[in-house]
Amino acid sequence: MKKAWKLISLMLVVLLFTGLAAGCNNGGGKVNVGIVLPTKDEPRWVQDEQRFKDALSDTKYSTEILFSQGSSAKEKENVETLINKGIKVLIISPQDGDAAAAAVEAAKKEDITVIAYDRLITNTDAVDYYVTFDSLAVGAAQAQYLIDHAKGSGVPLYLYAGAASDNNAFLFFEGAWKVLQPKIADGTFKIANSSEAEALKDKAELSRDELSKILGQVTTNWDANEAKNKAQTHLTAASADLKGDVAILAPNDGTARSIADVFATDGDVSSFVVTGQDAEKASIQYIIDGKQSMTVFKDVRTLVKDAIDMAVTVLDGKKPETTGTYDNGKVDVKAKQTDVIVVDKENVKKELIDSKYYKADDFTGLE
């Protein structure tokens, strides 16, 4: 009898210790929060990694960040690695919104809370929350900028979009189209590079299928090279009446810079207004130098903070606050949304330097 008691108390002590170790930072290789980001090849996501590191330094929970390098297979592998490390919360920005369903379904099976980060994971019920910027507003702001800076009427409009595997590409384009369409209808703009958009130009609201058709023609795949090649092809095909002073809807900074470089070398293009998004350092320099017209600044510090706060709330056993929902094709995902800011030459210093997002000496020629 005595022996049995000894054994039981010994087992209790062992259990207590393993329990404590699991709760500790890095105890036994355990990770509390796993973070999976799409690629290191774009400054946008390297920046998110840095902002996560800055913000995580003072949480008591352990975290690990992995990159998927543009591959859904790698992404699934990353999620499995993190599941094996015992994560309780997964923060994930998918490479491909549909393909990521399998990865998050595997996490859900282990009772892990899944937070989609910036990009929604689509057509699965295995997403608990979504932290995001107002992506419709990103597209709307780009479109409004083109309208505000259009010279006269009949302005050739070149349309470009993100990758069709990214739900955001649809939201950005949808947001832009709603604002642009009336100005296409009234003759302010004429579409220069998409027969699909031209065929739909009288429709203010486009369905997902209609958007797909346009994206199929003008996608950059979020790839600067693809953007460059498309821009070259479009300008080679364009007649003289599609040159002169033109407007360009470019979906993000990486693609905007390469599209702008192509338009800048065409002698028949006398001026162009080109949009962007992300406030990448290279594009801020382009804006200062007058080579890119604007960018939509998405303060990643806020998104990171929202994602971490949400994860910590879940780990503390409480319910995170949300501000709305996003339909992912299968369920309405509870979401927390953040506003965006238009930045051009006029306010670049105020929004990005005075706000301490970047340092002034990261740039040259800043007034």
* 222 lies in the site for ligand BGC, by CB under 6 A: yes
Considering the rule CB under 6 A, would residue 160 count as an interface residue with ligand BGC? no
Which of 32, 168, 292, 293: binder of ligand BGC (CB under 6 A)? Answer: 168
Question: Tokens in use for 49?
Answer: 């990694």
Task: Determine the Cα–Cα distance for residues 367 and 361; give it in Å rounded to an integer.
Answer: 11
Helix (H) or strand (E) holding 155: strand 155-159
Phi-psi region of 121 (alpha: psi -120 to 50; beta: other; left: phi over 0): beta
CB closer to ligand BGC out of 42 and 299: 42
Helix (H) / strand (E) element for 67: namely strand 63-67
Task: Answer yes or no whether residue 166 interacts with ligand BGC by CB under 6 A.
Answer: yes
Considering only 119, 230, 243, 336, the residue that binds ligand BGC (CB under 6 A) is 119
Q: Indicate whether 165 belongs to the interface with ligand BGC (CB under 6 A).
A: no
Binding-site size for ligand BGC (CB under 6 A) equals 11
- Does residue 174 bind ligand BGC (CB under 6 A)? no
Would you count residue 75 as binding ligand BGC (CB under 6 A)? Answer: no
Q: In terms of DSSP H, where are the helices of the chain? A: 2-23, 43-56, 72-84, 100-109, 135-148, 167-185, 195-199, 208-218, 224-237, 253-264, 281-288, 300-315, 348
Residue 275 binds ligand BGC (CB under 6 A): no
Coil, helix or strand at residue 199 = helix
In the complex, least distance from residue 145 CB atom to ligand BGC, rounded to whole angstroms:
17
* 3 state DSSP class of 114: strand
Q: Which of 124, 144, 219, 252 binds ligand BGC (CB under 6 A)?
A: 252
Q: How many CB atoms lie within 10 A of CB 11?
A: 10
| Residue 118 interacting with ligand BGC (CB under 6 A) | yes
- Report residue 114 CA to chain centroid gap: 17
134 near ligand BGC, rule: CB under 6 A: no
By CB under 6 A, residue 306 contacts ligand BGC: no
Residues that bind ligand BGC (CB under 6 A): 42, 44, 118-119, 162, 166, 168, 222, 252, 277-278
